[in-house]
Structure 1
């Protein structure tokens, strides 16, 4: 493809669950019956261009589609659309986009997708007990044989939904009885909670120790379990429960409201700057109700809940399975909220208690970007006896390396080397003439000092701000594989938004983590900085 014409098409639209773009495929992952539209951006555009979608269906070349020029006047976007229609399950579609301009042909790379199919839970073949686990096996659907496994362990009920064989054991001894060939009861010896299973037509209910029904499989107009299979290892699953609960609390950080009933919260770490609504940075797949039960879904993948939104008695959970994560694990917790929360933390780990000063009032402003202004605010705090415990300096760094004070004078080092405070000189007329002296004065006012941080390797120098040290750092990080990489081995760059085109540090790499903190170690060891305010950094959305 020539350099002077670009064809932008990203089928999954960056996998951002909230944003849809003028260069993606709709829907991103089609199933049988979906009407498929391909969108692409051609730049620069001229009316003389001829834009085509060349494509094949199951290896057979099809008639090209002529692109329809579309203008979105609301968003100010211009793009081409190709309506290629609906397809049958397992169809394989391959395509690329061609632009004919002044006798030259410009071509995108080739893309493809396979068409998924929706499946529903069939009849129960058998119910068995093995290793203290009750297993419900369903008839084979396509190539998959769904199983539901239930067992009480350590005061909770675990439900495992899997479409492949898994080896699980339960150490707890619990009461299991067969009423008849169609009716089974499983009782927890610790809490007294019990599970009742009806074989055909399949149904289960979960009861408390007094026999009250807390939760059950959905039995009305929707199937309890259904899934979409894309025949490449990816499966989207929908699980539905019937409930009388009117209050659903939890789900981690929330901006909209405390009781999530009637809403559809999802679990996706998302850095929404303003107007957050349901988008949140610290979502948790856990909730509890007023009816003495709660639920935790053990998954690091995208989840979406429906809490009595579609129907007043429906809890729906949508999740994703793949070859790495072939099962969905749910924990039903019993008791009052305090007990449910304690049991939840016993599963996930108890948080460490922050120091006392972290719970006091914090002072911060983006406009406090000089030493003079910081000390002015500290003086005002003392004058008016404001009981603050923390002062955050947001705009302190060079906005490039993010670990060197703005206006500092120094000799650059190799990307592998770290700095000490003595490596820097500061002008009396600069923004930060004496960072150490300033921090000492802050500490004398009984304040802790926190510096702003963000876990990226910036790309500002491409916009005209060249920083030799930053260039050294970026080159070293890329060479050593310290940043998040694409599948083809190239560095992943944030595609849009805040700090677009920047690199992300791979904190799962111990060497990368050590390198990152060594660059900032002097701030703690030489300047006695008390901590860092870590800002948004999760700009990766995958298809899992």
Structure 2
């Protein structure tokens, strides 16, 4: 019996490996949930109501399920409309009509919120924003041929009633990007999933996936610190904090849910949930933003790159300019173990006329290597403060590495447990 349980557990982990990560440090690929045949899919279909005065309304979402389709000697996935099996059927909508709203922040910034549940939680202060975003009254509304149009100084936002589409245009009316609808598919075999959300069968959690058009030659820049190509088109980017431990990896220390396009628009995904951005990786003509969040809170920007970044940082905060020395060469390795090594490295740099502004001691300044106790080892750094002052006088700032967690053998560990300042 025990062997059967072990084999069953191993098989479960194997099957789960293609769905969600079972290793704590592995980046989450949110797109995998949108390939699961057990989940229920809802496609943004039509505008069921809209109030131009409040720029809010409801979207009709068509319920679908995934099916395998064999054609042209291959097996693909084809969604089909689904009749709801939920009980009691009189209490739920097969094709729910759910709220969305638009908030005009500035002449170049618009906030779009789309809800996937009839239950909308009260808005709270966000740590990702510098207070509540302001309101702008300069956008002018008009209506023509099934389209609600808001025109600003730098472009326009268009909401089409059917097929439901949100378009971003520049000041001359040129389309920058638009959301994808199922009706946009013009190929017999290659179908692109449209703007959608899912309800997961395993736990009823909802996740949303806005899908936008990507034009030939378009370039996408952003998403945080990454060693991969600057232009993210053709890449699948996982916005999930990891310790990649190698520049050869596509993982990131500092993912940021913000990017901008060479066509003159940008987007800030206001969520702390994992996000996977597929910028033309699975289909050359689409950008797919998979979010492990039931609400889409998306800030849209118009303008040149510097204008977009300025608008983005107006919302999230503008970083202070670092000191000039921080842009210089940082000399480091794993690790310098003594103040004598620090002095020797400084001497060699200056003797060889190698510009450098920082000496990074990494982990070796503790008494026990990697045991981070915030104290210089007295036998190897007997004059720590004097060393720091001397190196600073020679033009070197000091960086000392510190791991944020304390191990059980660390002298501060009992105090940490006793007083509770831990996560």
TM-score (structure 2 length as normaliser) = 0.74
Question: Bigger shift: 337-346 or 435-444?
Answer: 435-444
Which range moved further: 367-376 or 328-337?
A: 367-376
Question: Is the aligned partner of 1:157 residue 2:110?
Answer: yes
Deviation at 1:361, TM superposition (A): 1.8
Residue of structure 2 in register with 1:441 after alignment: 390
Distance in 2 of aligned mates of 1:240 and 1:28: 15
Quick check: 1:127–1:134 contact (8 Å CA) kept in 2?
Answer: yes
Q: Secondary structure at the match of 1:403?
A: coil
Q: Counterpart in 2 of 1:112?
A: none
Say yes or no: does 1:390 pair with 2:343: no
Which residue, out of 234, 243, 261, partners 2:205?
234
Q: Which residue of 1 aligns with 2:169?
A: 207
Query: Are 2:413 and 1:474 equivalent residues in the alignment?
Result: yes
Unaligned 5+ segments in structure 2 are 64-83, 85-91, 124-132, 186-190
Aligned CA distance change for structure 1 residues 186 and 246 (closer, same or farther; 3 Å): same
Shift of 1:122: 4.0
Counterpart Cα distance in 1 of 2:33 and 2:136: 42
Report matched runs for 1:383-462 at 5 Å: 383-394=351-362, 395-398=364-367, 399-406=370-377, 408=378, 430-459=379-408, 461=409
Q: Measure the CA separation in 1 of the matches of 2:355 and 2:415.
A: 44
TM-score, normalising length: structure 1: 0.59
Q: How does 1:77-226 map to 2 (within 5 A)?
A: 116-131=39-54, 133-138=55-60, 143=92, 145-154=97-106, 155-164=108-117, 166=120, 171-173=135-137, 174-180=139-145, 182-188=146-152, 190-191=153-154, 193-218=155-180, 219-220=184-185, 221-226=191-196
Aligned counterpart, 2:244: 272
CA distance in 1, matches of 2:157, 2:168: 5
Partner residue of 2:323?
355
Q: Give the conservation status (yes or no) of the 8 Å contact 1:253–1:282.
A: yes
- Cα distance in structure 2, aligned partners of 1:294 and 1:377: 44
How far off is 1:28 after superposition?
A: 9.7
Is the radius of gyration larger for structure 1 or structure 2? Answer: 1
Structure-2 change in CA distance of 1:177 and 1:362 (3 Å): same
CA change 1:341–1:309 in 2 (3 A) is same
Mapped contact 1:302–1:320 kept (Cα < 8 A): yes
In structure 1, what is the equivalent of residue 339 of structure 2?
371
Q: How far has the Cα of 1:261 moved from its partner?
A: 0.8
Q: Per-residue displacement from partner, 1:266-314 (whole Å, max 9, x unpaired)? A: 2111111125431111111111122111111111111111111222210
The question of 1:309 aligning with 2:309 is answered no
148 and 405 in structure 1: CA distance in 2 versus 1, 3 angstrom threshold: same
| Structure 1 pair 375–32 and aligned structure 2 pair: CA distance change class (3 A) | closer
What per-residue deviation string (whole Å, max 9, x for no partner) do you get for residues 105-148 of structure 1?
xxxxxxxxxxx4333334432222243x2434325866554333
| Matched ranges for 1:29-68 at <5 A | 33=37
- When residues 171 and 28 of structure 1 are mapped into structure 2, their CA distance, relative to the original with a 3 A threshold, is closer
Partner deviation per Cα, 1:70-124 (whole Å, 9 max, x = no partner): xxxxxxxxxxxxxxxxxxxxxxxxxxxxxxxxxxxxxxxxxxxxxx433333443
Provide the residue aligned with 1:523 in structure 2: none
Segments of 5+ residues of structure 1 without an aligned counterpart are 21-26, 35-115, 409-429, 462-469, 485-544
Paired with 2:281 and 2:398, the residues of 1 have a C-alpha distance of 45
| SS across alignment from 2:422 | coil
Structure 2: how far apart are the matches of 1:402 and 1:330? Answer: 42
Q: Tell me, what secondary structure is at the counterpart of 2:236? A: coil
Q: Is the 8 A contact 2:113 2:295 kept in 1?
A: yes
| DSSP 3-state at the match of 1:284 | strand
- Name which of 265, 281, 290 aligns with 1:318: 290
1:251 is displaced (CA, Å) by 1.4
Residues 13, 28 of structure 1: 8 Å contact kept: no
Give the SS at the match of 1:264: strand
Deviation at 1:345, TM superposition (A): 1.0
Instruction: For residue 240 of structure 1, report the CA deviation from its aligned partner.
Output: 0.6
Q: CA deviation at 1:236?
A: 2.0
Tell whether the 8 Å contact from 1:118 to 1:228 is kept in structure 2 after alignment. Answer: yes
Contact kept in structure 2, 1:140 and 1:146, CA below 8 Å: no
The equivalences for 1:325-364 within 5 A come to 326-364=294-332
* Shift in CA distance, 368/286, structure 1 to aligned 2, threshold 3 Å: same
| Structure 1 pair 32–306 and aligned structure 2 pair: CA distance change class (3 A) | closer
DSSP-derived class of the 1:442 partner: helix
